[in-house]
Structure 1
Amino acid sequence: MRHHRKLTDDERRQIIEARAEGTPAAVLAHRFGVSTRTIYNTLSRAKGARPGATTTISTRLSARQLAGFQAALARRSITDQPAALRRLMEAADILLRPAGPVVRDHLQAWGAQVATEGAAVNHIARKLNEAKLRGRPLPFTDDDMTTIRTFAAGLVEFAEEFRILWEAQLAAKTREVDKALAGLGAQSEALADAGQPNLSRK
């Protein structure tokens, strides 16, 4: 067990909150990989420190929304929901950042292509519709067929390119979420391995 590592600010906060709820110092020492003396020192310093300004927020969730959030945390072996929420809020600037310039440029280029080729397809459709209304032979040429096939192929190509871009963006966001929640799941796993009850806040 590690007894000399430095606790992070978030870990100190978790220790203070868990101890206030009655979690034994020995359990906290095992959970965070430090000595019981470190736990008591952390608590002692917290008593003499002036608490920072905090804000309590509340929100209403449906049972489905809460279950989805809990399931997402469970996949990462995280049971401390308040700590997870705080971590995600701290990383909100990154997690909620709009799509990158590569995606925007791709969408703009595709929009311009659709506008050009789509106008040509619409022209063909109007030409055929006008001939039909006047009872004339449909003036559908090989060039018209090529235009339509080119347009259809462009749609398929865009769909595949956008799928690749989207998956890359999703993977990047997933890495940021993992980074924001790093360490929370490891604590629960350490307790499970030691056969200790999980006393994290719920």
Structure 2
Amino acid sequence: MASRRRLTPEERQEIVRERLKGLTHAALAAKFGVSERTVYYTLRTEKDRRRDTRVRTKQVSVTLTPEELQGFDEVLTRHGVSSRSAGVRLLIQSANGVFQPDQHLAEELKSFRAALNRVGNNVTQIAKRLNEARAKGIAPVFGDPSLTQLRLLSGFVLDFADQVDALARRRVSQVTLEAHRALKDFSDVPE
């Protein structure tokens, strides 16, 4: 089996930059000596990373009367929001049902991430053993203990998904209530 070349972090960033310039996946794969699949994964991982770290790339602009702006500033001050852009961002996130993680939620998600990483490592080990057996031309050992392990793993993943869903729903409900209160305050501003 041929060994696969690993990309350095600098090469991964260069792939992203080159793709933005218009290079095809095939050209990038040839340039870096990797498969097209590796290029696809690299680009998708970077896109996910930017979304997960909340790298902001879009702008919103709005024109207001002096009275509207004054009312907006008063509401922001009353709610302890530090800037106009933060206030608009909170309203947009609330209106779309997207939540901005608070400290408690961030800690909960960190523990969930660790648990999910352990599950991912287990799945990777199972797949590795099955692939090694197939490459050697032998039937993989897959008895009742392995099947029990997979069932337990599946149950854990389903329970994990339910816990994350419940946590997210609770937080979205709380943020939505805050947004409704803030929007009500904005509707009370004189026109």
When normalised by structure 1's length, the TM-score is 0.44
Q: Which is higher, the Rg of structure 1 or of structure 2?
A: 1
Structure with larger RCO (C-alpha < 8 A, sep 6+)? 1
Q: Under a length normalisation based on structure 2, what TM-score does the superposition of the two structures give?
A: 0.47
